[in-house]
Structure 1
Amino acid sequence: MAVPVPTPDPAAFGSKSSLVWQAAPVQEHDWYYDNGEELLPDLGPGVPAADVAMRWMAVDRVYCLDRHRFTPANWDALQRIYQDLPGWQPFSSDGPRWFSLDEDRDLHLWASVEPSGLQVAGVLTLGMWCGWDPQFRCAITNHDLPRFMHMTRIPIPANHSKHKDHELRLEY
């Protein structure tokens, strides 16, 4: 990600000054990161794709949802997103869960709102994760839920998916 560089706005004269920050477009991976996601070991050549898709993996991902900017409508949308994802467990009493309520025995995912964002962790097969994660990210983007870029905590502008170039205008 390019670091924004302030450039003076030549149209700003008088008692007010203005800076325009031109930032590189936000990349899809700028709003989530992994906490030591365990990747599959090298399985070697000739392993069928179906066997690879069934391998278990540990997941620990943080989606940089900016809960401080969430409105009640955003929380409602997030709940609907949870319910529409594969494996939703509607009877969980301690937070959102998918695939199983028992994290000690089965393939499962859980989510928790943390200061760093929404943490999603558990154990799934690679095939399950490769279906669940893109569907979740797409739903978050489509509902335009407030997010920030994980390295900078810069808010991602509303309707980001509809606009390719963004600028942040600071006046002082």
Structure 2
Amino acid sequence: MVNKKIRGRKGVSEMLSYVLLISLGLFMAVALYSSLKLIANVKPVTSCEDGVSLTIIEYECAIDSFRVTLKNNGRFNVDGFMIRVSNNPDRVPITPLSVKGSLDGSNQGSYSFSPNLSPDGVSIIEFGNLGIPDSDFEILSLRIQPFIKSESGKANIVCENAVINQKINNCKIK
């Protein structure tokens, strides 16, 4: 009689092991999904609108400064731009310029318009020789990349589709 009871429970033990195996698999899947959701904080990438655009109207070189006149020919306000120069026209400019009169060079390579440069607005900015590596630097290439402020106002969102690359002639800064 005892033998009969044991034979009747063989299927229950096997079914219980399958239930435990499936529930363990589901638990692992939920744990993995929630941990990946926490780690990979997926937010949409914030970028510039397609209508952001600056144009170089003119530039002027002096002994100790470089002046550039920019026009916003886009459809949106521009908060500022990043500026880099190079003494080699075949290389991407990487040398930042500082605004003339800046003593500490804290905003080297970047300029913020105050107030924002509105569409069809024109601004003249003068840069000094603070970021120039040597005393006889000839600017042969210029790169300007506009940016807008994030909604919080803490970060600059660089406009990658609105970069200006300009070849420059006879511009020595000492």
Task: Give TM class, smaller chain.
Answer: under 0.3
Q: Provide the TM-score with structure 1 as the length reference.
A: 0.22
Q: Provide the TM-score with structure 2 as the length reference.
A: 0.22
- Larger Rg: 1 or 2? 2
Q: Select the structure with the greater relative contact order (CA < 8 A; seq sep ≥ 6).
A: 1
More helix per residue:
1
